[in-house]
């Protein structure tokens, strides 16, 4: 049965925000867009967690979204990160992204201030009523300090343009409850859980490793879609060490930026308080990239 936002099924990539000498590297940003267009990626997700949105100023945040939309030029979808722990800020960012031409908004649960479930509901409802682009609820309690409970997501599913969930709770039970009761398009928020979540009705992934090897993530998803479970499982096992290190060596996006630097695709520059990998961690990352065949 088709889900509510089938046009976003497949591989979406959580883009890094490239920096050079402390400033956004516009040229590198455009190169990333071209790289993903050529790979056949479904959608780009700028200024999410991987895009270091917490350390971007609001003008920078809006500039990155506009630059990605412009470079995409309708060839690839753009789901812009527009969440905040202030509903007013999230409203402003989401409305601006919609006006800029983003195809959808990726809205993280309000973090740090730990709203009640009613607070979560009212926050997303306010956004859904203010814009006409599809909204993806980004549920990542490991970052936000609180889970949007499945019952709340079921209530939110009654709003027509709440259409997707980026599922990063790590709970298959929570995902199952949402998938059984709604037609929301569920996308994995953890690369290594893409195949398990698709097995219960998920429709793809918003991926970190997709910055490196979009074609391989697409191959996994395509194999599953074609009913070739053995092939999908083979890709899952091949990708797993890379997925593990991109999220396990240090906080995202530290490892992915280090990997892109090693592959000559980025300066690797981070914004404080994010700090580079230690020499030991970098050596382990180099080994993983070599074992995968990337170095």
Q: For residue 64, what is the DSSP state?
A: H
DSSP 238-277: HHHHHHHHHHHSSSTTHHHHHHHHHTTS------TT--PP
138 is catalytic: yes
Which one of 77, 121, 146, 166 is the catalytic residue? 166
CA distances for 38 relative to 34, 86, 243, angstroms: 6, 37, 22
CA angle 75, 77, 83 (to 5 degrees): 150
Please tell me which residue in 77, 121, 138, 257 is annotated as part of the active site.
138
88, 91, 283 from 127: Cα distances, Å: 9, 6, 44
Of 295, 261, 293, 294, nearest to 277 (Cα)? 261
| Catalytic status, residue 121 | no
Q: How far apart are CA 213 and CA 217, in angstroms?
A: 7
Do you know the residue count of the chain?
Answer: 295
- Asked if residue 68 lies in contact with residue 44, where contact means CB atoms within 8 angstroms, the answer is yes
Largest CA distance in the chain: 50
Helix and strand counts by DSSP (H, E) for the chain: 12, 10
User: What is the set of active-site residues?
Assistant: 138, 166
């Amino acid at each position: 049965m088709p889900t509510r936002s089938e046009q976003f099924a497949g591989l979406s990539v959580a883009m890094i925000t490239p920096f050079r000498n402390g400033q956004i590297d516009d040229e590198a940003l455009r190169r990333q867009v071209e790289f993903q267009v050529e790979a056949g990626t479904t959608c780009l997700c700028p200024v999410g967690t991987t895009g270091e949105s917490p350390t971007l100023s609001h003008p920078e945040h809006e500039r990155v979204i506009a630059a990605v939309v412009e470079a995409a030029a309708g060839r690839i979808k753009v789901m812009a990160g527009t969440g905040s722990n202030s509903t007013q800020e999230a409203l402003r960012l989401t409305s601006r992204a919609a006006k800029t031409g983003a195809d959808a908004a990726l809205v993280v649960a309000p973090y740090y201030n730990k709203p009640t479930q009613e607070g979560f509901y009212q926050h997303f409802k306010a956004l859904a009523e203010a814009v006409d682009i599809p909204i993806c609820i980004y549920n990542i309690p490991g970052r936000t300090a609180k889970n949007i409970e499945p019952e709340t997501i079921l209530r939110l599913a009654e709003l027509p343009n709440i259409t997707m969930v980026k599922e990063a709770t790590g709970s298959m039970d929570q995902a199952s409850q949402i998938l059984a009761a709604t037609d929301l398009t569920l996308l994995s928020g953890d690369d290594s859980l893409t195949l398990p979540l698709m097995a219960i009705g998920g429709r793809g992934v918003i991926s970190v490793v997709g910055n490196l090897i979009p074609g391989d993530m697409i191959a996994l998803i395509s194999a599953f879609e074609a009913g070739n479970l053995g092939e999908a499982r083979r890709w899952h096992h091949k990708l797993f060490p890379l997925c593990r290190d991109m999220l396990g060596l240090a906080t995202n996006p530290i490892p992915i930026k280090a990997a892109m630097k090693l592959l000559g695709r980025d300066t690797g520059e981070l914004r404080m308080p994010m700090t580079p990998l230690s020499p030991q961690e970098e050596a382990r990352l180099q080994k993983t990239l070599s074992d995968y065949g990337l170095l």
